[in-house]
Structure 1
Amino acid sequence: MEARSSARLAQFALSFGLTINTTGQSFLLVVLPPLGRSLGFSDIQTGGILSISALLLMASAPVWGYLSERIGRRPVLLTALAGAAIAAALFGLLVHLRLAASLSAALTLGLFICVRAAQSLASSGILPASQAYMADITIPAQRTSAMGILGAAMGLGAILGAALAWQIAPTSPGSAFAIVCGLAVAAFASVFFLAREPARVARETSVEARLPLARIAPLLLITVASISAYSVLQQVTALRLQDALGFTVEESIARGGAALMATAMAMIAVQLFVVRLLRWEPVRLLGVGAAIAAISLLICSLVDSYAAIFGTLVMLGVGLGLMLPGNLAFLSLSTGAGAQGKAAGVNVLAQGLGQAIGPLAGAALHRISPQVPFLTATALLVLCCAVAIFIWRASVCRKDPRSASLADGQSR
């Protein structure tokens, strides 16, 4: 009973930590493009800040995953949350000083790059360490639901970040960064006091411990393409409201944050309720979700009203809510028990690649037309549909027992 209670407290601490870390990341992604203009940054410079940091995250996440096997999960988690708190405080200070004309635009840009780079290097280990921690404290039969908890936590963080951008950042960006800092401190405390270092079994040296790169490569491609598409939208949604619909900076931050918050809410609702109700196998979730997302974005690129943009982005959330858990579940089932952490680290690397491509590509494509980034994101999701069909055909040819076992597990 005590062990079960300890595990639940640890799950809460991990979920809270991921929620707050994602809150800070989402808030920065939503608020920085329009706020950057007020600070004197060009759209390309703002996109560069986000893309460079994503590249650093991509490169360092596997290293943190390796270190979590050597020094433990807790040190990696605590380092990530400490970095999130310190970076939020520094961002708020820089914004305040720049808006007060105490710093030049060039100096502020350089300091923003440095702080964001340090934040990315420090916090990139939180996801692989959290997934590995969950694997340590759960049996295989509980693994899918445990990973779903982490996914929902990240979705909630995306909502909270967008809400901060919507409600507080338009009038007081410094206060919004202070709130993010306070939440990160609370998350650090929860992990410090509630998440003990888990016991870990010796890793297998057999085939089960090998990372099946050839088998999971299509799934990693889906990760890169889908995250790139979503990152494009996070970069350019507020800019499109400004440049295509004539919104002010404040209005674009508020309305863009509201739309992206609704998108994240749809993703969470689908992951928590619809996926369980449908009980589909992962590859079907992948294909149907990618199709819904691609159609939604195609319509979104053609409409010319805020209400239509808002509605199609909600439908995008529905599609991604089906697609992303399907991809993660199939990735886990395609990997042996001794390579789950390795697969998680490589998938985080793929996410980082998508987050690096998206903001810079979105800023560059937006200069051509506000609609072009949305069309490009649509093409990426069409690619995901094609890859899902390929995976489905391959799994049928192999009569893959892992997919069948997942479907049976969901139906019970």
Structure 2
Amino acid sequence: MTALSRGTLSALLLSLIVFGLGQTILFALLGPLARDIGLDVIQIGVVVTISALVVVVASPVWGRISDRWGRRATLALGLAGYAATTLLFVFVLHLGLTGATVPLTTFVLMVASRILYALVAAAIQPSAAALVADGTSLDQRASGMALVGAGFMLGTILGPLLGAVLVGWGLLTPLLVTTGLALAAAVAAFLLVDAPSPGIREATAKLKPTDPRLAAILCLAAIAFITIAITQQTLSFYVQDLLNLDTVETTRRVGAALAGFAIAALLTQASLVRRFSLSPPVLLRTGSLLLSVGFVALTFANGLTVVVAACVLLGVGYGLVMPGFQTAASLAVDPTEQGAAAGLISAAMALGFVAGPILGTSLYKIAPPIPYAASAALCLGLFVSTFLLGAVSMPRKASCAD
């Protein structure tokens, strides 16, 4: 399936696991912590949105840099920056929780620290995807991209479980552990990932989002990830309000729901997608339909069981659409453009986290179920669009012809 060495593969998987772990720990903790600090749900939405906007801008840049510097350098640098800026974010949260800073000051510091995080962590996803693209053939590209998703999803499974265990030692302990793991992953990436070939180092491809090979793919990816962002941003509030829980118990219940999401996505990518190497149209159409069903279930949830079941459906859908978008983008471009394409698709996904948090929290203030009803409608539109937009099915054919 892949020409990646065992050391490179091990470092890649560790990096993606840690990256995914940190994401779910943060989303499980952020809502309840914000309320303890005295922040509004809209303010937390702003923090996530601004961070995602920086990722949108930085990801294509890191993708092009990885084409020139090589994947090892950008992956290791991204992980090291991820560790450092997460530690800074923990310090800011500590100031807010202890009352050393007033809520407004804490909010400003949170925004600043997450901007720094986004500037460097934006290197991780495009570097990993481009690394896999370098080592897979065209007909195995979907299987390779599923490996990227599976590693990330395994981390998102471990994140809630680790968070639920460590939160008893202190609300910020899970994030501190994440910092140490990210630093270890950075060292592993630097020592174990194979150096890129000179040809990759010399690549200077500069793709634009308006490139006809990628435009439709990027647009649909952004829409899909708006719904994911809405869910991740509002789920902790939804569960806390639905079940009337305190911060610690909310973290544990949300952790269970996110674990169900992640396990479903992991099993989908590690078994179904990798085994059959499904085409992008099949992945996107099936995944978007399942996402629609999952969001309808979440809209009408009346207890934790329904929430978890809905998250499982969402996990299967996400497990299909993520490699679908990554594969479609990779197959659409030339070998020397893999880093740039991976950066653009990462930016499109991050763009969902620009609009999603603000949209989700704003709709949540109207009524808690509305964000999920809106997400169901968006995913249904995505499903229909994959039939109407022929460009979605073109990359595989065009790339193979080349």
TM-score, normalising length: structure 1: 0.88
Structure 2 Cα separation of the partners of residues 177 and 337 of structure 1: 37
Structure 1 Cα separation of the partners of residues 263 and 11 of structure 2: 22
> Which secondary structure state, in structure 1, belongs to the residue aligned with residue 127 of structure 2?
helix
The offset of 1:72, in angstroms, is: 3.2
Structure 2 Cα separation of the partners of residues 26 and 341 of structure 1: 26
Corresponding residue for 1:61? Answer: 59
Structure 2 Cα separation of the partners of residues 205 and 174 of structure 1: 42
Structure 2 Cα separation of the partners of residues 369 and 345 of structure 1: 36
Structure 2 Cα separation of the partners of residues 73 and 278 of structure 1: 27
**Which residue of 361, 364, 371 maps to 1:366?**
364
Say whether the 8 Å CA contact 1:264–1:317 is kept in structure 2. Answer: yes
The offset of 1:367, in angstroms, is: 0.2
Corresponding residue for 1:342? Answer: 340
The offset of 1:383, in angstroms, is: 1.6
2:132 maps to a residue whose letter is M
Residues 251 and 213 from structure 1, CA distance in 2 versus in 1: closer, same or farther, beyond 3 angstroms? same
Structure 1 Cα separation of the partners of residues 125 and 353 of structure 2: 15
The offset of 1:223, in angstroms, is: 0.9
Corresponding residue for 1:32? Answer: 30
Corresponding residue for 2:351? Answer: 353
TM-score, normalising length: structure 2: 0.90
- Cα RMSD after superposing both structures: 2.8
Give ranges in structure 2 of 5+ residues lacking alignment. none
Corresponding residue for 1:241? Answer: 239
Corresponding residue for 2:76? Answer: 78
Structure 1 Cα separation of the partners of residues 146 and 18 of structure 2: 17
The offset of 1:347, in angstroms, is: 0.7
Question: Is 2:206 aligned against 1:231?
Answer: no
Say whether the 8 Å CA contact 2:68–2:204 is kept in structure 1. Answer: no
Structure 2 Cα separation of the partners of residues 386 and 47 of structure 1: 29
Corresponding residue for 1:409? Answer: none
The offset of 1:160, in angstroms, is: 2.4
Say whether the 8 Å CA contact 1:31–1:169 is kept in structure 2. Answer: no
> Which secondary structure state, in structure 1, belongs to the residue aligned with residue 243 of structure 2?
coil
Corresponding residue for 1:151? Answer: 149
The offset of 1:333, in angstroms, is: 2.4
Corresponding residue for 1:22? Answer: 20
Residues 217 and 316 from structure 1, CA distance in 2 versus in 1: closer, same or farther, beyond 3 angstroms? same
Corresponding residue for 1:179? Answer: 177
Listed one character per residue, the Cα deviations across residues 301-345 of structure 1 (whole Å, up to 9, x for unaligned) are: 023122111111111111222232223223322333333222211
> Which secondary structure state, in structure 1, belongs to the residue aligned with residue 172 of structure 2?
helix
Listed one character per residue, the Cα deviations across residues 250-292 of structure 1 (whole Å, up to 9, x for unaligned) are: 2222111210111011001011112345564321221122111
Structure 2 Cα separation of the partners of residues 20 and 63 of structure 1: 22
Q: Which moved more, 1:42-51 or 1:62-71?
A: 62-71
The offset of 1:368, in angstroms, is: 0.3
Question: Is 2:230 aligned against 1:269?
Answer: no
Corresponding residue for 1:123? Answer: 121
Question: Is 2:232 aligned against 1:221?
Answer: no
Structure 1 Cα separation of the partners of residues 154 and 204 of structure 2: 37
Structure 2 Cα separation of the partners of residues 211 and 399 of structure 1: 15
The offset of 1:120, in angstroms, is: 0.6
Residues 281 and 160 from structure 1, CA distance in 2 versus in 1: closer, same or farther, beyond 3 angstroms? same
The offset of 1:404, in angstroms, is: 8.9
1:227 maps to a residue whose letter is F
Corresponding residue for 2:8? Answer: 10
2:96 maps to a residue whose letter is R
Say whether the 8 Å CA contact 1:245–1:304 is kept in structure 2. Answer: no
Structure 1 Cα separation of the partners of residues 212 and 391 of structure 2: 16
Structure 2 Cα separation of the partners of residues 277 and 133 of structure 1: 20
> Which secondary structure state, in structure 2, belongs to the residue aligned with residue 168 of structure 1?
helix
Identity %: 31
Give ranges in structure 1 of 5+ residues lacking alignment. 406-412
Structure 1 Cα separation of the partners of residues 114 and 395 of structure 2: 46
> Which secondary structure state, in structure 1, belongs to the residue aligned with residue 368 of structure 2?
coil
The offset of 1:107, in angstroms, is: 2.4
Structure 1 Cα separation of the partners of residues 97 and 269 of structure 2: 40
Structure 2 Cα separation of the partners of residues 218 and 19 of structure 1: 29
Corresponding residue for 1:319? Answer: 317
Structure 2 Cα separation of the partners of residues 301 and 404 of structure 1: 42
Corresponding residue for 1:284? Answer: 282
- Which structure has the larger Rg over C-alpha atoms? 1
The offset of 1:139, in angstroms, is: 4.8
Residues 250 and 100 from structure 1, CA distance in 2 versus in 1: closer, same or farther, beyond 3 angstroms? same
Corresponding residue for 1:188? Answer: 186
Residues 394 and 331 from structure 1, CA distance in 2 versus in 1: closer, same or farther, beyond 3 angstroms? closer
Structure 1 Cα separation of the partners of residues 276 and 253 of structure 2: 32
Say whether the 8 Å CA contact 2:73–2:190 is kept in structure 1. Answer: no
